[in-house]
Structure 1
């Protein structure tokens, strides 16, 4: 955002290519599971919550970085075929008649700061300007079940990745309380618990596929709160609703994560205090290029990054 680098790579387990992108008025893209090969893990088959992906100031730059990252790699058994060259193709496309489903706050389930929904709903007009139709959509799946599925799978994954450090008293003292909480909950899970969580995730994949029978893309806010003071450990309350875990304030990214589908964050605009927000564009499984095409078209209409650069840069002009 400050033009220090043209693009950046990152990983996204709970929105880390989407939420920070929204908070910095840039593009973030979480690819389809397996699009970017990753073999730097003890388990190459079951732990499939977090993926590598790109960020950039424009969709074109983001797609170009993905063209370098993506491709089949024999060291990553679940990586998808291809060499990434498709992401260097022109992004322009006609979107007249494209059907978009707006999931909003999941029918009132998600707590959100006051200006988040109105700002994102105003941004939907940019999709309509492209000729898309935007309808209010229902998740068609229990969000509570999604959250419990997420918690179990994340507990399990972090108990395994942080387990050795937790078991070493000298290293455990360097783990923050939230990390210890994840490990401790993970150690309480049975094999049956993990299987049931995986089954719930599979049922959610079936449910989102049914949504894609009606809609070409799904839309959600990229965050439930606007950027907050760096001294805030994490938001403990949103609009009068207490957050019962350290990551509940980011629950809006969980449906996308658990779907394994490609997701782009695009800029939605700014609140009265000048703080940015984003919108998630979720596409069908393996339709990564199509998601980037819609994000590019939206970018051409909205021009949010070009119109509202970082305040530090604006002051330097």
Structure 2
């Protein structure tokens, strides 16, 4: 039993193959991760809570079974985002309110992953209650981008993305309401997939039918993301909206490399400013689909109501889930969370009815759009990573945003229309910072999305760019 630094650079699929062949043990992997974390995470702060003793205890139990009976992941370790309960492990949600909170029961998503052979060894950092696309909080501080430690890792799954980029995870769980998987994937040069709602079962909270936020997989390449999606998927009676696993695995779909026939590219979805450099990088990447014989055209569905609709529905979600905290713990909440809750409490039934009608209309337009196009491509985020001290993006390409979430419109518009979407690394800025391409498929078509993403990943040739050792900010000239 020993750490092997070379394992850090292996893919998750290769690690699982080694586990199943008996070439490495889960304990070897935990030793390797613990050593890597000690070497690099002090600078990054991706994984502030570690639970290696718990992971080793579970590994020992798992290893009593024959290799063929250890689940899909066969003892592969992965971190869980600090919004999600893990039994016996500090789970703060990035809030001082929960700075000492140790749940007695895991979220059923965690239980499902552990049933499939995952070993939880850490909690990944997140902003308070996942609010805001920059990962910092009063409990653990800020997570920094491994590509440039002066830059943000985005959020709210910033700790997960930074861990993958810096080699302290092979796979990571994240969650996504307004781009919380896709933005950090773009900023950190890894792959993050927001699945269709119901694809990943979870423990319901506040409302059975909350569906703006979903859990999803994050990894360094498309096949690894597909592997984790397989391990996360499946229906569960405790989540009445959960979907059964498909007959064929998502990993098989990714490996099939079935190419789309026609894709659409939009620089802005018709609703947001975009940094010109980011627009140029993503357009160039999308157009390279033509090398596989794919027709690429500029088009997008009409998503013009997205900002108004998302603002209302997001505020309502905060109101139903956090109003009691506003009444009893207001002094411990960050200003942005207070604003969100208060906006929700001020809503009328007419406001909600209008927003739900807008969502229905935009979704119908989008489903119709996918009768012509197999995939929709656009920037995964509208900017390159910004300074970590900047709470959010206040302005882009001359446009000043009205609030701290409006800059996320290019991702939350896709949330509203119920589509699976991923961020694929597609290039770098002139200063060497990663840029992600958002790839979107019709509802419940994760298989087609992963197949198309694998095709483009092959063309772009960026697979294997991570993990990297954390890089200090370039010296100013």
Place the TM-score, normalised by the shorter chain, in its bin.
over 0.9
Match in the other structure for 1:210: 368
Match in the other structure for 2:189: 25
Match in the other structure for 1:312: 469
Match in the other structure for 1:134: 296
Segment of structure 1 superposing worse, 75-84 or 190-199: 75-84
Contact 2:381 2:411 (8 Å CA) reproduced: yes
Q: Which runs of 5+ in 2 are unaligned?
A: 1-164, 473-477
Q: Could you say which structure has the greater relative contact order, defined with CA pairs below 8 angstroms and 6 or more residues apart?
A: 1
Where does 1:210-229 land on structure 2 (aligned, <5 Å)? Answer: 210-229=368-387
Aligned counterpart in structure 1 of residue 221 of structure 2, from 42, 48, 58: 58
Q: What's the offset of the Cα at 1:125?
A: 3.1
Q: Does 1:200 align with 2:358?
A: yes
SS of corresponding position for 1:213: coil
Aligned pair in 2 of structure 1 residues 206, 68: CA closer, same or farther (>3 Å)?
same
Match in the other structure for 2:326: 166
Q: Deviations over 1:171-204 (max 9, x none)?
A: 1111111111111111111123212211111111
Q: What's the offset of the Cα at 1:119?
A: 0.6
| CA distance in 1 between partners of 2:335 and 2:247 (Å) | 40
Q: What's the offset of the Cα at 1:310?
A: 5.3
Aligned pair in 2 of structure 1 residues 226, 38: CA closer, same or farther (>3 Å)?
same
Where does 1:83-98 land on structure 2 (aligned, <5 Å)? Answer: 86-89=249-252, 91-93=254-256, 95=258, 98=261
Q: Deviations over 1:85-139 (max 9, x none)?
A: 62242523455661101121134x4111220111111111331112211101032
Task: Return the index of the structure with the highest Cα Rg.
Answer: 2
| CA distance in 1 between partners of 2:295 and 2:456 (Å) | 13
| CA distance in 2 between partners of 1:138 and 1:235 (Å) | 24
Where does 1:205-284 land on structure 2 (aligned, <5 Å)? Answer: 205-284=363-442
| CA distance in 1 between partners of 2:428 and 2:403 (Å) | 27
Contact 1:26 1:305 (8 Å CA) reproduced: no
Q: Does 1:300 align with 2:462?
A: no
**TM-score after normalising by structure 1:** 0.92
Q: What's the offset of the Cα at 1:295?
A: 1.0
Q: Deviations over 1:22-64 (max 9, x none)?
A: 101111000011100122412112x210000000011111111
Q: What's the offset of the Cα at 1:81?
A: 1.9
| CA distance in 1 between partners of 2:345 and 2:471 (Å) | 50
**TM-score after normalising by structure 2:** 0.62
Contact 2:300 2:376 (8 Å CA) reproduced: no
Q: Which runs of 5+ in 1 are unaligned?
A: none
Contact 1:72 1:83 (8 Å CA) reproduced: no
* Superposed structure 1 runs of 4+ greater than 6 Å apart: none
Aligned counterpart in structure 2 of residue 38 of structure 1, from 194, 202, 205: 202
Tell me how large the CA RMSD over aligned residues is. 1.9
Q: Deviations over 1:255-305 (max 9, x none)?
A: 210011111111110010111111111111111111011111111121214
Aligned counterpart in structure 2 of residue 117 of structure 1, from 279, 286, 297: 279
